[in-house]
Copies of this chain bind each other. A is one copy, B any other.
Amino acid sequence: MIFPTEKEILEARTRIASYIHYTPVLTSQTLNEKFDAEFYFKCENFQKAGAFKSRGAVNAVLSLTETELKRGVATHSSGNHAQALARAAQLKNIPAYIVMPENAPRVKVDAVKAYGGIITFCEPTLKARELTLERIVNQTDAIVIHPYDNLQVIQGQATSAAELIETVSGLDLILCPVGGGGLLSGTALSARYFSPRTKVIACEPSGADDAYLSFYTGKWVPSEHPKTIADGLLTSLGKITYPVIKENVHEIVTVSEDEIIEAMRFLFERMKIVVEPSSAVPLAAVLNKKIDVKRKKVGLILSGGNVDLNQLPFNK
């Protein structure tokens, strides 16, 4: 099994440094006092294109050879990876072919267009997305950049935890949301290389608990009919991410939809930051005492801030 190495993650940091934000870390005295712990929020919602996905996409594009760059890049995505890849391609002035389901939110479509992405719409099924992408790739010879099951993407996502570990020393725990596992596997590898005594705990919506099941049964379980407002966490673990997670993650906990919404409200109301539902999943685990945090230094990765402000889930 091939994992991103320590050296590769360090190289990724250097490679992407001028194209992404070294994101700030926020704290909350209210939370610290309430749980007798120290919390550190790594704000990928302030990242370029609004999510950690910019790290992996930029690293993947900048890792291509000159010959490969000429072919352009392609992916199917309705979410943050689409924007991040379009932006990364724009940095190198190469085409990004993005397959999006025809029901993708207008705001996401507009963002991809604003970064110069060339969009092909398809029916909103995984099958149609894959077939359409295959057709585009046949036509254009573009290089497919998978949203998470790609070594360069994982190296890029690993840089968020690497920065957090650099900013805050002596972390006992890092809490990280899990969808396809790109951010989580990168986080787990950065912890292993740069702060070996830090345990990584993944946090997942119970309505999309394939990582939880895969982790505890020891057998890859696909994400079937997932249902959660954390729209970044719907996908299954990948062929690369699953083994990395199995070996390097300490624990996976799940949270309910109401718990996610409650945590999201806390982040907006008390911490005054805009986050997408996926970002709130680790805090939901803390608020609902799924994790023992007492007297611990706890990092939480806020994955992004791309949320439809017209449909905030706590506005009921």
Contact = CB atoms under 8 A, between A and B. Distances in A.
A269 interface: yes
Nearest to A265: B309
A314 B305 contact: no
B310 A315 contact: yes
Contacts of A310: 315
A24 B315 CA distance: 28
Interface of A: 24, 26, 45-46, 50, 265, 268-269, 271-275, 305, 309-310, 312, 314-315
Contacts of A265: 309
A111 B156 CA distance: 41
Enumerate the 4 nearest inter-chain pairs by beta-carbon distance, A residue then B residue, closest first: A272-B305, A272-B274, A45-B272, A310-B315
Number of copies of chain A assembled together: 2
Contacts of A26: 46
A63 to B, nearest CB: 23
Nearest to A48: B29
Nearest to A45: B272
A116 to B, nearest CB: 15
6 contacts: A46-B272, A268-B274, A268-B309, A269-B274, A272-B305, A312-B312
A90 to B, nearest CB: 13
Contact of A24 (B24, B45, B268, B271): B24
A266 B36 CA distance: 36
Nearest to A43: B272
A214 to B, nearest CB: 32
Contacts of A273: 272-274
Contacts of A50: 272
A24 B269 CA distance: 18
Nearest to A314: B309
A270 to B, nearest CB: 8
A194 to B, nearest CB: 25
A171 to B, nearest CB: 21
A24 B23 CA distance: 12
Contacts of A24: 24
B309 A315 contact: yes
A146 to B, nearest CB: 26
Contacts of A275: 272
A269 B309 contact: yes
